[in-house]
Amino acid sequence: MTHESLVPARRDFLRKSLGFAALLVLPRPLLALTEPARTLGFVNTHTREELDVTYWDGSGYAPSALERINHILRDHRSGEARQIEVRLLDLLHSLRASLGTREAFHVISGYRSPATNAMLHERGRGVAQKSLHLQGRAIDIRVPGVKLEDLRQAALELGQGGVGFYRASDFIHVDTGRVRRW
């Protein structure tokens, strides 16, 4: 092998090595610019509305998609909507990926207005007075074709917030609060 044939190979090796090293030291926000799109699907179990939407386009959150999500996750009793926290959406995206499914989340409860939350709390349905549903930081879900126990376990393994298990009502609760389980 001649010296001339080794030079391009070394240059190629150095270029690839430096490119990889740059990924290790780049700030996380710069890396986020190259992330793939994030899509979620929802079925509101009360209104029967369906939504399949890309809420992250690879470079940022898509405002029109977030508005559509806020609408489908609104309080079905009052019609009130609130901004759903994007960390909750990212948690759901991670949960969907960990389950290896493309199924839509069937939503029992997303955002809850103060009046709805107070009414449910008074009825003694295990609803917290200061529920994270009031802040758009919690959602009650099930996924068709996924056992409830498997859904709960996948959510617990993410370790990204609270996970409640409601076997009798056939749903789990996930939120972006502190890590806890019930």
Rounded distance, CA 45 to CA 93, Å? 19
C-alpha span between 93 and 70 (Å, rounded): 16
- Give the domain ranges of the chain: 1-32, 35-181
How many CB atoms within 10 Å of residue 100?
A: 8
The Cβ-side half-sphere exposure at 162, using a 13 Å CA radius, reads 16
SS (H, E, C) 71-94: HHCCCCCCCCCCCCCHHHHHHHHH
- Residue 152 zone, left/alpha/beta (φ > 0; ψ -120 to 50; rest): alpha
Cβ atoms 181, 161 nearer than 8 A: no
Average pLDDT, the chain: 88
Cα angle, residue 65 at apex, residues 59 and 71 outer, rounded to 5°: 150
Note the pLDDT tens digit of each residue in 122-171. Answer: 998 678 889 999 999 999 999 999 999 999 999 999 999 999 999 999 99
Residues 12-26: tens digit of each pLDDT: 554 555 454 444 444
Determine if the pTM surpasses 0.75. yes
How, if at all, do strands 180-181 and 105-109 pair? Answer: unpaired
What is the CATH number assigned to the segment(s) 35-181? 3.30.1380
Which position has the token pair 């559509």?
68
Q: Check residue 26 and give its pLDDT.
A: 46
% residues pLDDT > 90 (the chain): 77
Mean pLDDT of 44-72: 97
Q: Which amino acid would we find at residue 129?
A: Q
Banded pLDDT at 89 (limits 50, 70, 90): very high
56: DSSP letter:
E
